[in-house]
Amino acid sequence: MKTTTNELAKILHDNQDNWDRVAHLFIEASALPVWGPLGVGDNLGLLPEISGKTFLEIACGSGRSIKYLTGNGAKKVYGLDLSETQVDEARSYNSKAIKDGVVDIFQGPMEERLDIEPVDVVFSVYGLG
């Protein structure tokens, strides 16, 4: 059975609403280089050299990985999250890097196109399952 546009819109709305309600529980959630609840560290080599590269994090949450990337020399980092509450926290946490033009954070579903420059690396710690 095919899902209608209205049904998809409701699913996205419900998902965003749910994340907005629980976002406060994930403010200190794991971020790079931890990679998830098992705490796998950077020795896996899942990211290339960070310095001088441009990144897009899908489901950036509270922006902890963004700060890790900018602190390790990323040229530019884009963050995207469905939750408006998470985006507000990510913007607050990375306010200096945003002011410096190193970070841009967007609120919306990952299925929508972002108008950004080409990136070297797209990743997600939790958003792609």
Please name the amino acid found at residue 94: N
Total residues found in the chain within this entry: 129
Work out the widest C-alpha separation in the chain, in whole angstroms. 48
Residue 101 confidence (pLDDT): 98
Task: Give yes or no for a contact between 75 and 97, defined as CB atoms under 8 angstroms apart.
Answer: no
34: DSSP letter: S
User: What CATH number matches the domain at 5-123, 1.10.10.10, 3.40.960.10, 3.40.50.150, 1.10.3720.10?
Assistant: 3.40.50.150
Q: Is the dihedral of CA 39, 42, 48, 51 positive or negative?
A: positive
Contact 127, 110 (CB under 8 A): yes
Structure token pair of residue 16: 């965003």
Cis-peptide, bond into residue 37, ω within 30° of zero: no
Q: Residue 29: its pLDDT value, please?
A: 62
Q: Provide the pLDDT for residue 73.
A: 97
pLDDT at position 54: 98
pLDDT < 50 stretches in the chain: none
Q: What does the pLDDT read at residue 69? A: 95
CB 96 within 8 A of CB 78: no
CA distance 106 to 82: 9
